[in-house]
Amino acid sequence: MSSSVNLRTIYAFAREMYPKKVTTNIEYGTAGFRTKADKLDYVMYRMGLLATLRSRVKGGQTIGVMITASHNPEPDNGVKLIDPRGEMLENSWEQLATDLANVSDKDLQSEVEKVIQTHNIDMGSASSVFVGMDNRYHSPGLLKAVSDGVLALKGNVKSFGIVTTPMLHYMVLCSNSCGAYGTPTEEGYYQKLITAFRALRGSECERGNYKNQLLFDGSNGVGARKMLQFLKRMNDELNVTVYNQGEGKINENCGADYVKIGQTLPIGTPDSEPYTRCVSIDGDADRVVYFFTDEKKKFHLLDGDRIATLYAGYLMDLVTKCEIDLKLGIVQTAYANGGSTDYIEKELKVPVACVPTGVKHLHHKALEYDIGVYFEANGHGTIVFSEHTKESVRAVADNSELNEEQIEAAKKLLSTIEVINETVGDAISDMFLVEIILQSNGWDVKDWYNTYTDLPNLQKKICVANRNIITTTDAERKVVTPEGLQNGIDEIVAKYPRGRSFVRPSGTEDIVRVYAEAATNEDVEHLVAEVSQLVYGLAGGIGPELNSTANGLPN
């Protein structure tokens, strides 16, 4: 193992600039590290170290480091690493991240040396780290800490400044695919999506019930800025009114999470005609939900489940017209509404897989299909296409001997692949495809909303002394411990038509989440109350049950 790096600089940087002043441990989870911004300087520095090591392990391929707290309040911040193909960090390295973040300053050098030895890293080899951040006021200082971590190990760092999380994922993959996926610049990102959008929409902006009018809640985050940049380049092809552009605090009374959980309009929503399409994204633009109000001003939500079903119907139609034998599947979590699952299986006749909560679980399962559509109900999701799919579709598009409908469908499918950001959920990319499909179908939000009926559902949280007393299996839908809890839930659920309920411990705090759905609002209220009381008794509740939420979001 050759080395041109003086590892003593690791401790020198840490001691002088990024000392660890926090005594409690922090854990790298599905969302990376996330907490109050003033507790993250030392973590960011250490993640710069880890990203450089990861790049060298991967033969100098680019690794991404995104500084964001996504849908969290503005005082929070966080960091997550992006692997070479734009995917989330490999599981085994999540533990390395946790270990590196929690050692003392004086043990930091030896912890880095352990990683180097375990993975036989040539410290003289090339490395590449891309860094991006959201628009929180404390992000620039944290970005500098990441960059200093890279420089401490003599790595190469490139800062993209303020970008959405999906943009950085895109740029990492572009860099490592030598441009095959796209150009690794902000302009390259805009042009790739716009070109595909134009190819699919054509010159006709309105069709049938579809009107070219959209209200866009930017959650005062980076996505608002980037949407405005798209619109500058799109010549009114999409008539979008952007609000919550940055005049307020990120995610405060606005954004996808607020709209989803509260089942309400975000602050600042302009007055509009009934059934006007409205869209809301989160602070780093990787979640998207649609909503509208009717003539009685009643709020209606079109969440990730709705987007997934819209995508699946569109893709099934194109695949059928291409006359290619491809395996299409939808991946959901237990939080997906039973109404959506029934519609997918019985009407669309598309296979549905259920996996544990967390985007990485959905993404990995989606890769098992030729075309995998995955969405969490919170609006985080995308589509992944296998190489076999792409090659098969190109072959049809290039075969002039086939009929015109086949060739046209194949070309549309190729453009659909281009408009989708396969690396991660991308609010703007996902929104573009929704608009493309609605326009193609000639649908307004009523047409979309009426494809199926959601079952009434509620979620409650129970405070417990130790959330780990509850363990689950079957994609978190069945309880293993404590003994007797699952049997009790089954007995309660059996009393209610179309009843379903499950419980799972939070991944971040000592609470247990109880989800329930049933045929009527009255039934679901009784169901969630009975199951919550059972959990409270058997899992050692220590305080009052917290408020329930309709279509509540898991953490």
| 416 and 462 both lie in a single domain | no
Calculate the average pLDDT of the chain. Answer: 93
Q: Which domain does 76 fall in, by range?
A: 8-162
| 153 and 121 both lie in a single domain | yes
Does residue 153 register a pLDDT over 80?
Answer: yes
| 298 and 308 both lie in a single domain | no
Within a domain: 360: yes
Mean pLDDT of 53-74: 96
| 274 and 128 both lie in a single domain | no
What is the structure's pLDDT at 544? 47
Does residue 551 register a pLDDT over 50?
Answer: no
| 315 and 404 both lie in a single domain | yes
Q: Is 386 a catalytic residue?
A: no
* pLDDT band (50, 70, 90) for residue 459: confident
Find, among 200, 197, 178, the residue nearest to 85 by Cα: 178
| 75 and 21 both lie in a single domain | yes
What is the structure's pLDDT at 203? 83
Partner residues linked to 130 by β-bridges:
64, 158
Distance CA 292, CA 272 (A): 10
* Domain end among 404, 421, 449: 449
Within a domain: 262: yes
What is the structure's pLDDT at 471? 92
Number of domains comprising the chain: 4
What is the structure's pLDDT at 537? 82
* pLDDT band (50, 70, 90) for residue 454: very high
The CA-atom distances, in angstroms, between 225 and each of 134, 218, 231, 257, 507 are: 11, 8, 10, 19, 32
Q: To the nearest whole percent, how much of the chain has pLDDT over 70?
A: 96
What is the structure's pLDDT at 262? 86
Within a domain: 445: yes
Within a domain: 400: yes
| 504 and 491 both lie in a single domain | yes
Within a domain: 180: no
What is the structure's pLDDT at 3? 53
- Angle subtended at Cα 54 by Cα 68 and Cα 166, rounded to the nearest 5 degrees: 35
| 310 and 445 both lie in a single domain | yes
- CATH number of the domain that 261 lies in? 3.40.120.10
DSSP state of 468: G
What's 57-103 look like in SS3?
A: HCCCCEEEEEECCCCCCCCEEEEEEECCCCCECCHHHHHHHHHHHHC
| 521 and 430 both lie in a single domain | no
Does residue 543 register a pLDDT over 70?
Answer: no
Distance CA 338, CA 457 (A): 9
Within a domain: 175: no
* Domain end among 406, 433, 449: 449
Looking at per-residue confidence, does 192 or 236 come out higher? 192
Find, among 461, 545, 459, the residue nearest to 505 by Cα: 461
Dump pLDDT digits (tens) for 303-356.
999 999 999 999 999 999 999 999 999 999 999 999 999 999 999 999 999 999
What is the structure's pLDDT at 540? 63
Strands (E), 282-424: 288-293, 299-302, 328-332, 352-354, 371-375, 381-385
* Domain end among 406, 423, 449: 449
| 224 and 119 both lie in a single domain | no
| 136 and 195 both lie in a single domain | no
Dump pLDDT digits (tens) for 264-318.
999 999 999 999 999 999 999 999 999 999 999 999 999 999 999 999 999 999 9
Mean pLDDT of 443-466: 91
Catalytic residue among 70, 429, 440, 532: 70
- CATH number of the domain that 527 lies in? 3.30.310.50
What is the structure's pLDDT at 247? 92
The conformational region for residue 50 under phi > 0 = left, psi -120 to 50 = alpha, else beta, is alpha
Looking at per-residue confidence, does 523 or 358 come out higher? 523
| 310 and 439 both lie in a single domain | yes
What is the structure's pLDDT at 539? 66
Residues 6 or more apart whose CB falls under 8 angstroms from that of 271 comprise: none
Dump pLDDT digits (tens) for 84-124.
999 999 999 999 999 999 999 999 999 999 999 999 999 99
Does residue 547 register a pLDDT over 50?
Answer: no
Mean pLDDT of 2-25: 86
Amino acid at 148: D
